[in-house]
Amino acid sequence: MLHSGKKILRLTKLTAIEQFFLWWFFELASVGREIKAKLGFNEKSNHILFVSPNQEAHGKHSDFRFEIFDIKLGTSTPFIDWTQFKGREVDLVLAPQLCLNLKENFPIANDEHLSNAIDLYVKQNTPFNESTASWTWSASSKQFSSIHVDISLVKQSISSNIIEICKKKELEISNIFTQNSDTHKLINLLKLETSQQVRVKFWRKVNLVLFGFIIAILLAAHFSYTKAHDTALIVLSEKLTDVKRKAVRQKKERLKAEEELNRRLSLSRHKGQHRSVLAIWEDLSQNMPETAWLNEFYLEEDQGRIAGFAASAASLLATLDQLEGLSQVSFNSPVTINPTDRLERFDISFTIQRNDEQ
């Protein structure tokens, strides 16, 4: 019996958790409609409400006339049944008669500076300020160094009365627009916070708290796991350190032995492939004419160069070209004649053939 009671308790807890996550999922899905709306995938109607003064207002009638405005067709039609908009988000467009429309030229500037200049202009040239009215503006044209601006201003009492009427009819107002008097373009005057946006903010905070709670749990679990394995990791690290030290020492010794072996092999190959400097110098000395003498002798790898004076540089070049261990014998620069002793100055380069090429 006791076992059955514990089983029922576990099932009850599981059901409660499932219900909570199911409720949370549907709330997040509801909030997700706000994201779809921002991306343009919502199914919001193209109709908005056009608000104008009610010329027949008297007694119980409202001071304002509400009409359905079709954005696509650009037409408005009166309506009586408010229930078709109940609980829905709608936008309001105020008729020009409800606004104070001003036109003024301002120096060309960025939007922030221009907006500050317009705010100052409204406060200095009208009896209104931020607490008694709301205003917006749009640039209609530019000319040289000035910009023509249309300003639409609505008294706070008018916008408050319109909002109060819509609240009584259970309408969700998201934006209030005015129209440019020339282009009839809609300009956003006020952006109001709807119940959907309030829910979005609430769930954003809830999700942040839950996310932080999950992160805290994960960090605690990670810390516990790390703490439990610290000792084993320290021992393993010490063993690995000893093994690495031995491996590094053995690697250094092996590399040093390989380097010494390669050096000896390279030196042996070099000696076997190249003639010695003394052998080359001996060949040059034996075949150099008595009328020639050197003041420069240069050797690097298989390239050589000599410079000096001779009675006939061309004969010396021919003699060197006949030597068995030399090839590609040529003048590096034109032969010149010393005006003092009429000897020819030469600069000759040559290639020393390897032993395996001869």
* Structure confidence at residue 195 (pLDDT): 76
- Of all residues in the chain, the percent with pLDDT exceeding 70 is 77
* Structure confidence at residue 119 (pLDDT): 92
Residue 50 neighbours by CB distance under 10 Å: 21
pLDDT at 44 over 70: no
| CB 169 within 8 Å of CB 86 | yes
* Structure confidence at residue 116 (pLDDT): 92
| CB 348 within 8 Å of CB 331 | yes
* Structure confidence at residue 46 (pLDDT): 45
Residue by residue, DSSP assigns 56-87 as T--TTS-SEEEEEEETTTTEEEE---GGGGTT
Mean pLDDT of 19-38: 57
**How far is the C-alpha of 298 from the C-alpha of 304, rounded, in Å?**
6
Please give the mean pLDDT across all residues of the chain: 78
* Tens digit of each residue's pLDDT (9 = 90 or more) over 284-335: 777 788 778 888 888 877 788 888 888 888 888 888 888 777 788 888 888 8
CA nearest 68: which of 91, 89, 87, 86? 91
**How far is the C-alpha of 2 from the C-alpha of 72, rounded, in Å?**
70
* Tens digit of each residue's pLDDT (9 = 90 or more) over 50-87: 888 876 655 444 678 888 877 666 667 777 677 777 77
Q: How confident is the model at residue 15 (pLDDT cuts 50, 70, 90)?
A: low
DSSP category for residue 42: S
**How far is the C-alpha of 201 from the C-alpha of 263, rounded, in Å?**
75
* Structure confidence at residue 220 (pLDDT): 87
β-pair type (146-155, 100-107):
antiparallel
**How far is the C-alpha of 193 from the C-alpha of 199, rounded, in Å?**
10
Residue 68 neighbours by CB distance under 10 Å: 17
Question: In the chain, which ranges are continuous DSSP H helix?
Answer: 2-38, 111-125, 156-168, 195-228, 230-273, 277-287, 313-322
Domains along the sequence of the chain with CATH: 43-201 (3.30.420), 277-352 (3.30.1360.100)
Mean pLDDT of 100-107: 89
| DSSP H/E element including 193 | none
Residue 59 neighbours by CB distance under 10 Å: 4
| CB 165 within 8 Å of CB 63 | no
- Give ∠ CA 255-257-260 in degrees, rounded to 5: 105
When comparing pLDDT for 38 and 292, which is higher? 292
* Structure confidence at residue 128 (pLDDT): 92
pLDDT at 141 over 70: yes
* Tens digit of each residue's pLDDT (9 = 90 or more) over 165-193: 888 888 888 888 887 767 777 888 888 87
